[in-house]
A and B are shown apart, each in its own frame.
Chain A
Amino acid sequence: MMILLALLAVVVVVVLLLAFTVVGIYNGLVTLRNRYKNAYAQIDVQLKRRYDLIPNLVETAKGYLKHESETLVAVTSARATAFSANQKAAANPGDPAAMTALSSAESGLTGALGRFMAVAEAYPDLKANQNMMQLSEELTSTENKVAFSRQAYNDAIMAFNTKRELFPNNFIATMFNFAAAELFEITNAAEKEAPKVSFT
């Protein structure tokens, strides 16, 4: 009887240890997932700030750029695309489809803004406009913040994906549906730079 009891105790301890490992891995994955979701919240704040600035920018430039309406329309529509892409991404950060869509929409917006700034260079009056100077300054600063929080987000995604793929974590990840999360990258190397503006 004693031997049976001891055997039972050994089995219980082994199973418990196993259960703890599983719980530990599961909790670790949840923590890392929360971390990248929170990191996205920071990007979201800055992106929204950027989307708020752009209409003001376009509004200010409108009076000066009468013959460049194409550029302005391009900026406005790129903003709208990026805006809705961000809404989808914010609802489900890390979701591959949403993140890819956001990456390309943001690349498009950055490109359109770059062209807009290049065009604006040719209009000295616009360049000298106080409002315009302030807005583009704020835009650059926001772009920097976006880039920085994007880096933090990507770091968090990398940590999560690595943990998820390691053995034996991969079994638990599959068992509880921890899908691989997608990085947020601005793909086009030329457009990766924040639009440089010099209104001096």
Chain B
Amino acid sequence: MDFFTQQDRAKSKTSVLIVYFSISVLLTILAIYGATAFFLTHFSGNDRPSDGLALFTDGLPWFDLELFLLVFGSVSLLIAIGSSVMMFRLSQGGKSVATLLGGRPLNPSTTQRDEIKLRNVVEEMSLASGLPMPELYLLDQEDGINAFAAGYTSSDAVVGVTKGCLQTLTRDELQGVIAHEFSHILNGDMRLNMRLACLTHGILFISETGKWIFQAAGRTVTSGSRGGKKDGLPIILVVMLAGGILTLIGSIGYFFSSALKAAISRQREFLADASAVQFTRNPSGISGVLKKIGGFKAGSALKAPEAGQASHFFFSQGVNFFLGNLLSTHPPLAERIRAIDPTFNYEFPKLAATFQAEDTADTTAKSLSSEFAPVSPSRASLVKPEQVINSVGKMDPTQLQLGQLLRAKIPEALFAAAHEPYSAQALLFAALVVDSEKEKTESSILTLAGENLSLETLKLIPAFQALPHSLRLPLIDLSLPALKLLSPAQYQKFRQTIQTLVEADLSISLFEYTLQKILIRHLDSHFSPARKPEVKFSSLNSILEPTRILLASLAYFDSSDPNIIDKVFKEGCKQLNTTEVSHDLPAQEACGLAQFDQSLNVLQYAVPSIKKNILYACATIVMFDSQITEQEEDLLRAIATTLDCPIPPFALRTQS
């Protein structure tokens, strides 16, 4: 099953979820309606004597439309309020979940050995998968072994690990955990999880309101009796009872929605475990973690008060419920281990409460270097479009190893710069000016960025120049977490400078375009509320025109021979699998960078299966000459980034 199918599946899961969820809401409403009716008949005196008697003496169905609508409206309102509260709290995307759980962002320029190890493992995986580097969070208060991934899109994705995880696991095991979390990101699970959190919070809100009414009424009773006033007492007792019943019914509703959440979550966990093994081809990594959790005193338990609501984001069971299996968001440990390692004998090795993994130094990545030949600047490589499509959102051991190699190939100075906000800016400036004339560059940077920053930039230029072209964009992906540390004012200035540099020479190169696209995509959403993925187009027919423009622009880029352009364009159109699209080549004037950009911005709102067709058609055009140059790879990367389909650096792959 490929990336696009997974994404579509996660989406249809959401629809199924909403159906089940609506059913449980409806049942809750009916229960509350019943309770209200009961109340009205027993406490309202003579208001509705006949109706009440009909219900409770004759056992006949008793239905009052007005009352039902009232209950329906107010309960729906409560659920809507509860859900929107959670939506509001999660509006910053993944990092809101991390903050909710008491996470601390890991400083990219950290000097702690454990933290460096974690950062390196994640960076390798990010290079290997083409997924932009997620922000890392540490749960310092948590001694258990656990981790989570959260966010709406790959731009706001965060990966968090507990202190216990960092201290107890070896590098291989950590890699297993991170691979598991990456597969949640790639399978679209985390988006589903965000929605689950909002919906269940809506139902939880009913019982919270009930509890609150109960307590408020209770307080009035105590203060009232102290004051000696007894007049309003019966009515307050009734309100108290009503609050209590609301709590009870709300709790039952919450129980069912939690069971639903847990059932969905359990399924996804097996899948993520399997993907993690597939990514790393190292079953001992992930099964080692699970065994450690089983033998560790703190296990995978979480202390944060909000952990219950976020339990389905985690790597392993974080909260134990009263009714064990039904509400468990994760399958039992032994079952998960058996799925990976059938020889497991159900005996967990006992670990001391303060166990410390021996291998804390980070050596693996470095020992792999030097087998990897640097790429000459303009070399093109052979890739088939199928390879590109199949590699989207996928990882395998070769790729992971390649990620490690790539990481080892990037000079230390550039890495250090990518990890620190001040010099990360310089790194991006260097990326933009590296290929232009020297004197012009120096003066323009100096006026734009100021003396200190321009010195920093000039220092980085030689190292950047020596970097193989195909490593440039991946390196920029790695510098995103550091750039997220800028203050909003600093970011505005930085963005302005980038914009000016891009437009400085009056022509925008593809590399510049792609770089800007990546920055806007991943950083703008950080400095304003997270962009939730919207789907506006579920059929290709409504977006035929932008698709045509996109393909034609690519065709014009590919060649200057009119015959070839036309042929390539028609070939691309064929891959769209639709008869609706006109195979007439649009005029060249209609296919500039501006129009290309416009079309791409429309196409990002298509459903994954359409994106797959479009990306495939793009790859077909780009690789028509069965070659892919570095410029073409940049272009594909820009398209894939905008469509939110991470593609690994595949050109390098075929060479290694």
Cβ of A145 < 8 Å from any Cβ of B?
yes
In which size bucket is the chain B interface? Answer: 35 or more
Check B488 against A145 for contact (C-beta < 8 Å). Answer: no
Query: Pick the contact of B489 from A5, A9, A155 — CB < 8 Å?
Result: A155
- Choose, from A31-39, A94-102, A170-178, A179-187, the stretch at the interface: A31-39
Query: Pick the contact of B456 from A4, A20, A141 — CB < 8 Å?
Result: A141
Bound complex: CA A29 to CA B494 (Å): 26
Minimum CB distance partner of B419 in chain A: A45
Bound complex: CA A193 to CA B411 (Å): 31
Check A152 against B74 for contact (C-beta < 8 Å). Answer: no
Check B74 against A42 for contact (C-beta < 8 Å). Answer: no
Chain A residues lying within 8 Å of B542, measured Cβ to Cβ, are: none
Minimum CB distance partner of A141 in chain B: B456
Check A24 against B88 for contact (C-beta < 8 Å). Answer: yes
A151/B485 contact (C-beta < 8 A), A24-B88, A145-B420 known: no
Chain B residues lying within 8 Å of A13, measured Cβ to Cβ, are: 77
Chain B residues lying within 8 Å of A41, measured Cβ to Cβ, are: 105, 107
Bound complex: CA A156 to CA B421 (Å): 15
Chain B residues lying within 8 Å of A5, measured Cβ to Cβ, are: 70
Check B490 against A155 for contact (C-beta < 8 Å). Answer: yes
Taking CB atoms and an 8 Å cut-off, the chain B residues in 186-240 that contact chain A are: 209, 213, 235, 239
Chain B residues lying within 8 Å of A161, measured Cβ to Cβ, are: none
Bound complex: CA A88 to CA B303 (Å): 27
Taking CB atoms and an 8 Å cut-off, the chain B residues in 393-430 that contact chain A are: 420-423
Q: Mark A15-49, 1 if CB is under 8 A from B, else 0.
A: 01000100110010011001000110110011010
Cβ of A148 < 8 Å from any Cβ of B?
yes
Bound complex: CA A140 to CA B325 (Å): 59
Cβ of A87 < 8 Å from any Cβ of B?
no
Bound complex: CA A31 to CA B89 (Å): 11
Interface residues of A, CB < 8 Å — how many? Answer: 32
Bound complex: CA A144 to CA B449 (Å): 13
Cβ of A8 < 8 Å from any Cβ of B?
yes
Minimum CB distance partner of A6 in chain B: B70
Cβ of B40 < 8 Å from any Cβ of A?
yes
Cβ of A1 < 8 Å from any Cβ of B?
yes
Bound complex: CA A48 to CA B105 (Å): 19
Cβ of B487 < 8 Å from any Cβ of A?
yes
Minimum CB distance partner of A45 in chain B: B109
Bound complex: CA A144 to CA B489 (Å): 17
Minimum CB distance partner of B100 in chain A: A27
Cβ of A128 < 8 Å from any Cβ of B?
no
Q: Mark A76-89, 1 if CB is under 8 A from B, else 0.
A: 00000000000000
Chain B residues lying within 8 Å of A46, measured Cβ to Cβ, are: 109, 420
Cβ of A118 < 8 Å from any Cβ of B?
no
Number of A-B contacts (CB under 8 A): 69
Cβ of B384 < 8 Å from any Cβ of A?
no
Cβ of B439 < 8 Å from any Cβ of A?
no
Query: Pick the contact of B421 from A8, A9, A141, A152 — CB < 8 Å?
Result: A152
Distance to closest chain A CB from B86 (angstroms): 11
Check B422 against A148 for contact (C-beta < 8 Å). Answer: yes
Distance to closest chain A CB from B25 (angstroms): 19
Bound complex: CA A85 to CA B11 (Å): 53
Minimum CB distance partner of A154 in chain B: B487
Check B452 against A144 for contact (C-beta < 8 Å). Answer: yes
Bound complex: CA A27 to CA B486 (Å): 21
Cβ of A136 < 8 Å from any Cβ of B?
no
Cβ of A12 < 8 Å from any Cβ of B?
yes
A20/B487 contact (C-beta < 8 A), A45-B111, A145-B422 known: no
Check B485 against A152 for contact (C-beta < 8 Å). Answer: yes
Bound complex: CA A1 to CA B46 (Å): 10
A151/B490 contact (C-beta < 8 A), A12-B209, A12-B213 known: yes
Bound complex: CA A13 to CA B73 (Å): 13
Chain B residues lying within 8 Å of A148, measured Cβ to Cβ, are: 421-422, 490
Bound complex: CA A34 to CA B88 (Å): 18
Bound complex: CA A195 to CA B40 (Å): 81
Bound complex: CA A196 to CA B40 (Å): 83
Bound complex: CA A27 to CA B89 (Å): 8
Check A1 against B456 for contact (C-beta < 8 Å). Answer: no
Distance to closest chain A CB from B48 (angstroms): 9
A31/B209 contact (C-beta < 8 A), A20-B85, A24-B88, A38-B104 known: no
Cβ of A110 < 8 Å from any Cβ of B?
no
Cβ of B99 < 8 Å from any Cβ of A?
yes
Distance to closest chain A CB from B428 (angstroms): 15
A48/B452 contact (C-beta < 8 A), A31-B99, A152-B486 known: no
Distance to closest chain A CB from B68 (angstroms): 14
Distance to closest chain A CB from B69 (angstroms): 13
Cβ of B44 < 8 Å from any Cβ of A?
yes
Bound complex: CA A145 to CA B109 (Å): 12
Bound complex: CA A156 to CA B490 (Å): 11
Check A156 against B487 for contact (C-beta < 8 Å). Answer: yes
Distance to closest chain B CB from A10 (angstroms): 11
Query: Pick the contact of A1 from B47, B209, B487 — CB < 8 Å?
Result: B47
Query: Pick the contact of A155 from B47, B111, B235, B488 — CB < 8 Å?
Result: B488
Taking CB atoms and an 8 Å cut-off, the chain B residues in 42-63 that contact chain A are: 44-45, 47
Q: Mark B106-134, 1 if CB is under 8 A from A, else 0.
A: 01011100000000000000000000000
Chain A residues lying within 8 Å of B107, measured Cβ to Cβ, are: 38, 41-42, 45
Cβ of B610 < 8 Å from any Cβ of A?
no
Taking CB atoms and an 8 Å cut-off, the chain A residues in 47-105 that contact chain B are: 48
Bound complex: CA A43 to CA B53 (Å): 73
Check B239 against A149 for contact (C-beta < 8 Å). Answer: no
Chain A residues lying within 8 Å of B423, measured Cβ to Cβ, are: 141, 145
Chain B residues lying within 8 Å of A151, measured Cβ to Cβ, are: 487, 490
Taking CB atoms and an 8 Å cut-off, the chain A residues in 110-141 that contact chain B are: 141
Cβ of B448 < 8 Å from any Cβ of A?
no
Check B421 against A149 for contact (C-beta < 8 Å). Answer: yes
Query: Pick the contact of A149 from B85, B99, B422 — CB < 8 Å?
Result: B422
Minimum CB distance partner of B102 in chain A: A34
Minimum CB distance partner of B485 in chain A: A42
Query: Pick the contact of A8 from B44, B85, B239 — CB < 8 Å?
Result: B239
Bound complex: CA A194 to CA B29 (Å): 67
Of the A-B pairs whose beta carbons lie under 8 Å apart in the complex, a sample of 22, sorted by A's number, is A1-B45, A1-B47, A4-B235, A9-B74, A23-B85, A24-B88, A31-B92, A38-B107, A41-B105, A42-B107, A42-B421, A42-B485, A45-B109, A45-B110, A141-B423, A144-B456, A148-B421, A149-B421, A151-B487, A151-B490, A155-B490, A156-B487
Interface pairs A-B: 8 shortest CB-CB:
A155-B487, A152-B487, A148-B422, A1-B44, A145-B422, A144-B452, A41-B107, A1-B47
The residues of B with any CB-CB pair to A shorter than 8 Å are 40, 44-45, 47, 70, 74, 77, 81, 85, 88-89, 92, 99, 104-105, 107, 109-111, 209, 213, 235, 239, 420-423, 452-453, 456, 485-490
**Other CB < 8 Å A-B pairs besides A8-B239, A141-B423, 8 of them?**
A20-B85, A38-B105, A42-B107, A42-B109, A148-B422, A149-B421, A149-B422, A156-B487
